[in-house]
Amino acid sequence: MKIALVGNPNSGKTTLFNALTGSNQYVGNWPGVTVEKKTGNYKNDRSIEIIDLPGIYSLSPYSLEEVIARNYILNERPDALINIVDGTNLERNLYLTTQVIDLDIPMVVAINMKDVLEKRGERLDLKNMENDLGVKVIEISASKKENLDTLIDEIKGAQSPKVKKYMSEDIEKAITDVTSSLNSERSSRFLAIKLLERDPKIKIKVDVEKYTKKLEEEYDDEIESIITSARYEFIEKVVNKAYIKKQKLTDTLSDKIDKIVTNRILALPIFIGVMAIVYYISVTTIGTMFTDWTNDVLFGEIIPPAIESFLISINCADWLQSLILNGVVAGLGAVLGFVPQILVLFILLAILEECGYMARIAFIMDRIFRKFGLSGKSFIPMLIGTGCGVPAIMASRTIENERDRRMTIMTTTFIPCSAKLPIIAMIAGAFFGNAWWVATSAYFLGVASIIVSGIILKKTKPFIGEVAPFIMELPAYHIPKVAAVLRSTWERGWSFIKKAGTVIFLSTIIIWFVTNFGFVDGSFRMLEPLEIDYSIGAVICSAISFIFIPLGFGNWQSTLASIMGLVAKENLVATYGIALGFEEVAEAGDEFWNLLPGMMTAVGAYSLLAFNLLCAPCFAAIGAIKREMNNMKWTLFAIGYQCVFAYVIALIINQIGSLIIYGSFNIFTVVAIVMIVVLVYLLFRRPKAYQEALKGKLLWEH
C-alpha cells in the first residue's frame, strides 16, 4: 500500500514522516528530476510504503515542488493520501485541502499540533469538519507521536472524499458541465477546475473557454481569482464552525518573542549576534576542543603510526608508503579531522531551525532582500548553503520566478559552506591569532556579496522584473526535539563524510602525485622532500601564479591550493601542507602556520580567503548548477560571474587594505579604485527597463 503525505511547509509533514517510518527510510530523486524525495516503510508494517511529497501551498503549477507533487499524485495514483494540516493555521492550510479533496483519492485529513491548540485554549469540532469536507478528520501531534496508530488504521480503510458542491451554483454548474466531458478521466473534478482556470500543465483538449468567459464576465474578474475566492469563502465557513472555543486574551509566548526578534530595528543585530555565537562555539571553542583531539590523537598518535608500522612490516615500496601516508592518510585526515567542528555547527543550526527561529530569519531577510531584487526565498538556499552548496543550489527550485531562481543559483555559494571552514580556520590561526571575527566576517562577506550581486544583476536585461512573492508560515516557538536535531545533524554530516571518502580521496592522490613527481636533471622521477620546487604542480603553478600577484598571494603554493580547491574546497589546506613539505597536517594546517606569513601579508591572506570563498564552488556544486540551470550557456555564465566577482573583491581588499595599512601604492591600486567606481556605478544606475519594472512594483504595492 502506497500512502503519500501532502501538506504545507512547516505543517509538521517531515516530523510525521520520521515518526511513522523511523529508520525504515531512504533518500532518492524523483524520476527525471534531481529534486530529493524521501520514501520509507511504516515501522509497524513494512507492507505500507510512505512517500514524503515536497511541502507545497497548492496544486497550482507555480513552483517545481508543486508540479512534482501534483504529477506524482495524478500519474502515480497512490492508494491513499494523508493531508497534514497545521491546526494553528487552519485557514491557510485548508486551501490545499480543498484541492486535494477534488482529486477524488482516498484520504484522511490529519490536524497536527493538537498539543499547541490545547495550550492556546482552542478545540476543534472534528465531526463538523468531517461533514463539511466529506473526509475523515483526525487530530494528531507528530512531534509527540500522539494518535499516529489511529491515523494509520483510518488510512487503511479510507474512502474517496464525499465531494460536496461547496462553490456557488454557477461555478459548480460550469464544473459539472466540464466534468461530464471527462467521463473516462481520473480526478475529473480536479481536472475540470484546472481546465476552467486555463492551467497550461493540463494537456487535455476540451473546449471550456465559453464557461470560463461567462464566469469572468459575470464576476468581472479573472477565473483563477474567482475560484480562489470561492475556495476561501468555503474555508471560512468550515473554520468558523470548527472552532468550539477560541481563547486568546493575551499574546502567546511566540508573539512576545517575535515582537523582539522580528522588530524592524533589532531583528538584524540579533541575527548577527546569534550567528556570531554559533561560529564562536563551533569554530573557536567547543568545536575546536573536539577537533584538536581528533587531529592530535586520532590522526596524530593512533592512525598514521599504526598504518606506517603495518606498511613497514610488509616491506611496502617507498613510493606506495608515501602515497598512502602522505597522500591518502594526510589528505583525508586533514578533512575528516574537521568533522567535529562541522557537527557542532550543524547541531547549532538544527537547533535554530527546530525551535522556529530560522523561519523568522527568512521573513526578516525578505524585507531586506526585496529591496535588492531578491526574494526572501533566496535566504532558504543560503541557510542550507552553510552546510553544503549542492543541496543549497537544489533548494532554489522553490522559487517560482525563473529569473530570481537563476540569480539565486549564481549567488548562493557565496555563503561559506562547511568545506570552507578549514580555510577560515587556517587564515584566522596563521594571521589573526584565531580571532573570532574572521569566521563571522567571512559569513557576512558572503551575505554582502549576494546583496551586491542581486542589485547589480537585477538591473541587467536577463534579470529585470518583479521579485517573486514570498509566503511562509511562522511556526510557534518550541523546544527542539533531540531526535530531530540529531537526525538533521547526521544527514548533513554524513553527506560531508561521503564526499570526503570519494571526491576528496581521489583529489588527494592527484595532489600527492603533482607535488611528489617532476623532472630533475632531465629525468622524471619521485622527488626528495627538498626538491618540491621541481614538482609538476610547482612548475605549472609557477607559470600562472602571476595572475594572483595583484591579489597578494602570487606564489605557486597558493595557486595550486586555489586550483585544487575547485575540486573540493577542503583540499586547500591539505594542498598547502603537502606543497610545504609536511607529511601530515591538521584540518586547519596548524603545523605550517608559521610559514604562511613569509608568503603573504595579513591583508593578502584575507584576500586569499575572500577569493576562495566567493569564486566558483567545488566540482560537485558546479555539477548541481549545471543540472539546475539545464543550459550550458547559463552554467558557464554563472561560473564566470562567480570567478570574476571573486577576483574583483579580492583585488579591492588587497590593494586598498595594503594602501591603508602598509602605505603601498602601485598600478594595481589604481585598478582597484577604478573597480570600486565601476561597482558603485553598477549599484546605483537605473536603466530604463529597471525604472519601468520598479514603477510596476510600486503600483502593485500601492
pLDDT tops 60 at residue 694: no
pLDDT tops 90 at residue 618: no
User: Each residue of 558-570: pLDDT tens digit?
Assistant: 888 888 787 778 7
**Range name among 55-59, 108-112, 498-502, 599-603 with the lowest pLDDT average:** 498-502
CATH number (domain holding residue 188): 1.10.287.1770
pLDDT tops 70 at residue 634: yes
Choice between 568 and 175, residue whose per-residue pLDDT is larger: 175
User: Each residue of 214-255: pLDDT tens digit?
Assistant: 888 888 888 888 888 889 899 988 888 887 765 554 566 777
Neighbours of 629 (CB within 10 A): 19
pLDDT tops 70 at residue 32: no
Helix (H, G, I), strand (E, B) or coil at 286: helix
CA distance 483 to 120: 25
Query: Same structural domain for residues 436 and 458?
Result: yes
Q: Which three cell numbers stand for residue 352?
A: 535554530
What is the rounded average pLDDT for all residues in the chain?
80
Could you tell me the pLDDT band of residue 469, with boundaries at 50, 70 and 90? low
**Tell me, what DSSP letter sits at residue 617?**
-
CA distance 440 to 428: 11
- The total number of structural domains in the chain stands at 3
Check residue 267 and give its pLDDT. 83
**Residue owning grid cell 584538536:** 292
Could you tell me the pLDDT band of residue 658, with boundaries at 50, 70 and 90? very high
Check residue 611 and give its pLDDT. 93
**Tell me, what DSSP letter sits at residue 534?**
G
Query: Same structural domain for residues 320 and 399?
Result: yes
User: Each residue of 86-133: pLDDT tens digit?
Assistant: 887 788 889 999 988 888 889 999 998 777 777 767 778 888 888 888
Judge whether 578 lies within some domain.
no
For residues 383-401, give the mean pLDDT.
Answer: 71
Query: Same structural domain for residues 301 and 211?
Result: no
CA distance 513 to 551: 28
Check residue 30 and give its pLDDT. 46
**Residue owning grid cell 482556470:** 197
Check residue 690 and give its pLDDT. 59
Q: Which three cell numbers stand for residue 594?
A: 608559521
Check residue 34 and give its pLDDT. 43
Choice between 620 and 426, residue whose per-residue pLDDT is larger: 426
pLDDT tops 90 at residue 55: no
Q: Which three cell numbers stand for residue 416?
A: 561559506
Could you tell me the pLDDT band of residue 31, with boundaries at 50, 70 and 90? very low
pLDDT tops 50 at residue 270: yes
Query: Same structural domain for residues 427 and 280?
Result: yes
Neighbours of 220 (CB within 10 A): 7
> Comparing C-alpha atoms, which of 125, 121, 116 is closest to residue 146?
116
Query: Same structural domain for residues 280 and 197?
Result: no
Check residue 327 and give its pLDDT. 66
Helix (H, G, I), strand (E, B) or coil at 330: helix
Query: Same structural domain for residues 316 and 457?
Result: yes
CATH number (domain holding residue 55): 3.40.50.300
Check residue 142 and give its pLDDT. 84
Check residue 699 and give its pLDDT. 42
Instruction: Indicate the angle between helix axes 188-196 and 169-180, nearest 10 degrees.
Output: 110
Write the single-letter amino acid at 636: L
Most confident by average pLDDT, 31-35, 504-508, 530-534: 530-534
Query: Same structural domain for residues 414 and 320?
Result: yes
Cβ atoms of residues 600 and 552 within 8 Å: yes
Check residue 515 and give its pLDDT. 75
Query: Same structural domain for residues 345 and 432?
Result: yes
For residues 603-611, give the mean pLDDT.
Answer: 92
Q: Which of residues 245, 260, 292 is at a domain's end?
A: 245
**Residue owning grid cell 596524530:** 300
Query: Same structural domain for residues 13 and 111?
Result: yes
Check residue 698 and give its pLDDT. 43
CA distance 386 to 407: 18
User: Each residue of 293-303: pLDDT tens digit?
Assistant: 776 677 677 88
Check residue 485 and give its pLDDT. 84
Q: What is the pTM of this model?
A: 0.59
User: Each residue of 181-215: pLDDT tens digit?
Assistant: 776 666 788 888 888 888 877 777 777 888 888 88
Query: Same structural domain for residues 462 and 329?
Result: yes
Check residue 35 and give its pLDDT. 54
Could you tell me the pLDDT band of residue 671, with boundaries at 50, 70 and 90? very high
pLDDT tops 80 at residue 585: no
Choice between 398 and 546, residue whose per-residue pLDDT is larger: 546
Distance of CA 445 to the CA centre of its chain: 18
Strand ranges for 470-629 from DSSP E? 517-520, 523-526
Range of the domain at 224: 169-245
Judge whether 417 lies within some domain.
yes
- Percentage of residues in the chain having pLDDT higher than 90: 12
Could you tell me the pLDDT band of residue 639, with boundaries at 50, 70 and 90? very high
Query: Same structural domain for residues 459 and 341?
Result: yes
Query: Same structural domain for residues 276 and 223?
Result: no
